[in-house]
Amino acid sequence: MSQQKNKYDLIIIGAGFAGMYSLYKAKLAQINVLVIEKASGVGGTWYWNRYPGARCDVESMQYSYQFSKELQDEWEWTEKYATQSEILKYANHVAERFNLKENIKFNTEVKSVIYKEENNNWVITDNNNKTITSTFCIMATGCLSTINKPNFKNINQFSRPILHTGTWPHEKVNLKGKKVGIIGTGSSAIQCIPEIIKEVDHLYVFQRTPHYTVPARNRPLKYIRKKITEIARKPQGYDTNLYVEEVKAHYKDFRLRAQNSVAAMVLPINEESALEVSKERRKSVYEDRWKKGGVPFIAAFQDLNFDRDANETAAEFVRNKIKSLVEDSATAKILTPKYPIGCKRLAVDSNYYETFNKPNISLIDLNTEPLDEFVSNGLSTFKNLYELDVIILATGFDAMTGTLFNIDIQGKNNIKLKDKWADGPKTYLGLTTESFPNFFIISGPGSPSVLTNMIVSIEQHVNWIFDCFKFMKKNKKSSIEASLQAEQEWVKHNQDVSVDHVRSSCSSWYMGANIKGKARIFMPYVGGYANYVKKCNQVSQNNYEGFIIK
Ligand code: NAP
């Protein structure tokens, strides 16, 4: 283990949930480690995304670490879906409980990560031009961590505040009595709009594509605790009314069920086909899911993700809900998506559609009234001028590759990651990429990552990497790199499994379609979490097949 100043065995970039758990494992293994983090605190996504209404749409009893039984038992979530501030509190609790902060260099942005073949190490340079070296490098930089700020015409002309949901200010933003415009209607906007409407004088929602969303039915967990559920007694069953004590009493089994699932979470998948049940049965299943709320809606029938006719039954159900919830029929029409449900990530909301019945909201359809330019006091479309005090960009992220490309990452023979991935990311298992030895990516493209319960996926990745470190140490190896053949096969497999999946059936950030000039290729692995884990385990059990280890 190296102890020289500025020389480490392992550098981890990012102190979100992936970076924190990697650090925990490194400390446990007594590896000489440093984490570099751009923010002034831990939490990653939950540090940055502080917009009103921000919360996780994976249930809090599942969206947490499982590596420590004590941590799992002692932490008390207060709501079915935790707010951003509660998740951030949890992240800080973890960091303090396991003394993680002492190994994190905050307020520091990594600018380059360059492999030096002659020394078999990585040279990492930060924004202060400080350089360190490390044998191994883990990119724990997140999948949705670089915001997409479209190049709107004359954006700098607007003389008042422009906020982005993905980099929301830390201090309270006062929107009281203000005329506010919000551009974008994805998951972030869908959470933000019903919150800020309570405060603003008037809200103008600029929509390019309507998004499907289902009610969250969020509730305090204390209320749920009073209810009787069968979760612990029905190992295959599931009830959205998670009963905290019962889950905690059987957490191990509960987690195991998530490990063996498609999305790394306990999700009630109805094994029936939407097309093979009666019309009445279909409606009652959808009504039941709608009433219970949350992402389980998309698991109402087993064929919604693969059969377009089956999918259309679910899409039509939600379209009818929009019609019944939104009083003004013209507004309802604009809010109604026409593409398959679940193609863009299904959003989960609290009173989103109902918000459009308020007197102080206007929906602007950018398809019939395209944006022209920002002006000093507002936004002008080709039809109207909207005077605004604040503009919110809810325009999403340069997902999965944006943050990696913002860093100058160079592997063997000075090959730049950005160039290697110009036609789309190329990884082996989403964890590694050929020509970049001893370099790992957590929840990278080619891994299930954003299609799953992220904390569970993160723990699996990190455990795999640290098992690999152990293997290398035991076998006195100093370098591991994906073989080109293994990478090519994995990339092909990724594309094969995505072809017929609903997720690749429309333009979305999964496909890189939201960023001008970005390669159009389905980035996350859509073959299912359990299948992915099986493959990873097979690779490690076969002495890291597909890797060149020296
Ligand atoms: P998003 O899903 O990418 O939505 C961005 C929105 O901005 C879309 O409506 C998009 O329209 C619009 N937009 C982008 N560029 C535009 C332009 N030039 N002109 C007009 N409109 C434009 O981003 P997001 O809502 O931030 O969500 C991103 C992801 O973060 C989610 O899919 C999810 O994975 C995660 N997230 C999770 C939660 C949660 O756990 N509850 C909450 C928020 C976010 P088009 O559709 O036409 O491109």
Ligand 1: does its nearest atom lie under 6 Å from the Cβ of 266? no
Percentage of the residues of the chain whose pLDDT score is greater than 90: 91
pLDDT greater than 80 at residue 494: yes
pLDDT greater than 90 at residue 448: yes
pLDDT value of position 1 = 46
pLDDT value of position 225 = 54
Kindly list the distances between the CA atom of residue 35 and the CA atoms of 6, 24, 26, 66, 514, in Å, as whole numbers in the listed order: 12, 11, 10, 21, 31
Atom of ligand 1 nearest to the CA of 184: 7
pLDDT value of position 246 = 79
Atom of ligand 1 nearest to the CA of 81: 41
What pLDDT digit, counting tens, does each position of 173-207 carry?
999 999 999 999 999 999 999 999 999 999 999 99
User: Chain-wide mean pLDDT for the chain?
Assistant: 94
pLDDT value of position 243 = 66
Query: How many Å lie between the centroid of ligand 1 and the Cα of residue 503?
Result: 15
- Positive or negative CA dihedral for 485, 491, 492, 494? positive
Atom of ligand 1 nearest to the CA of 190: 25
Query: How many Å lie between the centroid of ligand 1 and the Cα of residue 412?
Result: 36
Ligand 1: does its nearest atom lie under 6 Å from the Cβ of 182? no
Query: How many Å lie between the centroid of ligand 1 and the Cα of residue 467?
Result: 36
What pLDDT digit, counting tens, does each position of 246-260 carry?
788 889 999 999 999
Atom of ligand 1 nearest to the CA of 450: 34
* CA-closest residue to ligand 1 atom 20: 208
Ligand 1: does its nearest atom lie under 6 Å from the Cβ of 452? no
pLDDT greater than 90 at residue 92: yes
Query: How many Å lie between the centroid of ligand 1 and the Cα of residue 208?
Result: 11
What pLDDT digit, counting tens, does each position of 502-514 carry?
998 888 999 999 9
Ligand 1: does its nearest atom lie under 6 Å from the Cβ of 365? no
DSSP class of residue 432 equals: B
Specify whether the CB–CB gap between 545 and 467 falls below 8 A: no
pLDDT value of position 5 = 76
pLDDT greater than 70 at residue 42: yes
Specify whether the CB–CB gap between 350 and 215 falls below 8 A: yes
Structural element, H or E, at residue 497: helix 484-498
Query: How many Å lie between the centroid of ligand 1 and the Cα of residue 54?
Result: 13
What pLDDT digit, counting tens, does each position of 114-156 carry?
999 999 999 999 999 999 999 999 999 999 999 999 999 999 9
Query: How many Å lie between the centroid of ligand 1 and the Cα of residue 46?
Result: 16
Pocket test for ligand 1, best of 55, 79, 209, 514 (most atoms within 8 A of CB): 514
Average pLDDT over residues 74-101: 96
Query: How many Å lie between the centroid of ligand 1 and the Cα of residue 347?
Result: 10
* CA-closest residue to ligand 1 atom 23: 396
Ligand 1: does its nearest atom lie under 6 Å from the Cβ of 144? yes
pLDDT value of position 245 = 78
Q: Write the Ramachandran bin of 344: left for phi over 0, alpha for psi from -120 to 50, otherwise beta.
A: beta
Query: How many Å lie between the centroid of ligand 1 and the Cα of residue 426?
Result: 24
DSSP class of residue 147 equals: B
pLDDT greater than 50 at residue 244: yes
Pocket test for ligand 1, best of 395, 457, 515, 516 (most atoms within 8 A of CB): 395
The encoded tokens of residue 65 equal 């670490």
Mean pLDDT lowest among 31-35, 228-232, 369-373: 228-232
Query: How many Å lie between the centroid of ligand 1 and the Cα of residue 513?
Result: 11
Stated pTM of the model: 0.95
- How many CA atoms within 13 Å lie on the side-chain side of 179? 10
Ligand 1: does its nearest atom lie under 6 Å from the Cβ of 283? no
**Integer Cα distance of 85 and 165 in angstroms:** 15
